[in-house]
Amino acid sequence: MITREAASACAPGRVELLGNHTDYNEGVVLGAAINRVICVSGIRDDRAIRIRSGSFGEVETDVANLRPLSDARWANYILGVAAELRQLDVPIRGFVADVRGDLPIGSGLSSSAALELATALLLLKLFPFELPRLEIAKACQRAEHRYVGVQSGLLDQVISLFGRAQHAVFFDCRTEDIRTVPFPSSLAVIIADSGRQRELASGKYNLRRTETRNAAHAFDVRALRDLKPAQLNNRKKISELLRRRARHVVEENDRVWRAVDLLLAGDGRGFGKLMNESHESSGHNFENSTRELDLLVSIARQLPGVLGARLTGAGFGGATVTLCERNAAPVVAEQLAKAYAAETGIKPQVFVCEIADGAR
């Protein structure tokens, strides 16, 4: 039987304010949902799974034989979510899903997690089933691991799902503590897309995950979360590369803890200083920045009203996040785009983003 009751769900992108590559090292993260979304709408259709996107085309696959596709790999985010929800006893059969949205893809704003969450919430409406919100986030993370091949942490899904307007989201990836922290109304966040797309499944992300795991083993700790800054120079036999990878994660965790206190105190200048430190560590210790990202950060820091800037997300391309005084934000965004285009010939997407509610 085919049910023709349509449903839809939307999930926002997220901006990582601080906490770069800390999540899969059992660390802490600070991010926010933004007012750019991906929406998935659809109906039940017991004959097949059909997925349509204005950007990527149409895919149809057998409802009884869910598996990753070697072509049309964008559809694997949706197919993976359907497969993971089935493993949780959600009675998913066939469906038609239409994908749309205004969230830039491949820019480090977590379009993948937004697509996964919008799909999950849609399917839980089409095939009614109740799951705790954190379990939904984890199912989406597993879909990315198993169907896409990116061994991502959980921060993207958590921030997109638990976001709250005008609040940052603090996530402790070991204890799974999730808190929202008021974001000062006097501050604004600007996203600037470098025009250099990321391709995490190509290996650099997974390589960093392996390197940080090896660093934890070399320092004889369960995870880099357990290493203190003062211990980073211990153990002389550790390679310089692994020591730098560890330094980035360990000091980044410390920056997140300090940043929460600074937000609560309304100290935007102190918060911006931590963002600057984070980017310098990304460039030197973690080597996940690029010439384009460094240029965006350098330009932004010279503009009046800017308090700090850094890459956001996994790096290796994508976007930067700039913290500035709210009354200066429109001019900063305009000047940043103009100066970057003059230097590179690339006209970047630059926009002042509002901190928004999570998936719905």
The catalytic residue positions are 156
Cα gap 17→244, rounded to integer Å: 21
Q: Are strands 95-101 and 7-18 parallel, antiparallel or unpaired?
A: unpaired
Side chain identity, residue 117: L
Cα gap 154→252, rounded to integer Å: 17
Dihedral angle over CA of 68, 155, 298, 240, nearest 10: -90
Place of tokens 């036999």: 237
Strand order in the sheet with 306-312: 306-312, 319-325, 187-193, 350-353
175: its two tokens: 């204890």
Q: What are the DSSP E strand ranges found in the chain?
A: 7-18, 28-44, 49-53, 57-61, 95-101, 167-172, 178-182, 187-193, 306-312, 319-325, 350-353
